[in-house]
Structure 1
Amino acid sequence: MLKYFSILFTLLTLVLAGCTFSDPDPEEVQAQMDQEHARITEEQERQQEEEAEKLLAQEAAAAEETAAKEAEAARLAAVDKETALDKIEKLLKPASIEVIQPEEPKSEPSIINTISSGLKNLLGSSVKEQQEEPKKAADNVSASEKKSTTKFMPKSPLAIFSAQKLVSCKIVPEKMEAIHKRLLKIKDVNIADSKLRDKTNDKLMPVIHFDFDQIKLKPAYTKLLRQQSSCVMKALKSRNDMIIQIEGHADERGSDEYNMALGHRRANVVANAIKAYLPDSSLARIFSFGEEFPLVRLSNKNAWAKNRRVEFTLLLKP
Structure 2
Amino acid sequence: MKKGNQSVETDFILSGLFQYGLMDTFLFVAIVMFFAVALMGNIILILLIQLDARLHTAMYFLLSQLSFMDIMNISTTVPRMTTNFLSNSKTITFLGCVIQTFLFMVLGGTEALLLGFMSYDRYVAICYPLHYPILISKKICWFMVTCAWTSGSINALVHTLYVFHLPFCRSQLINHFFCELPSLLQLVCQDNSTYEYTVILSGLIILLLSFMTILASYARVLSVVFQMSSGKGQTRAISTCSSHLIVASLFYVTGLSTYTRPHSLHSPEKDKAVAVFYTIITPLLNPFIYSLRNKEFIWAMRRLLA
**The TM-score by the shorter chain falls in which range?**
under 0.3
TM-score, normalisation: structure 1: 0.23
Larger radius of gyration: 1
Higher relative contact order (CA 8 A, sep 6+): 2
Higher helix share: 2
TM-score, normalisation: structure 2: 0.24
Higher strand share: 1
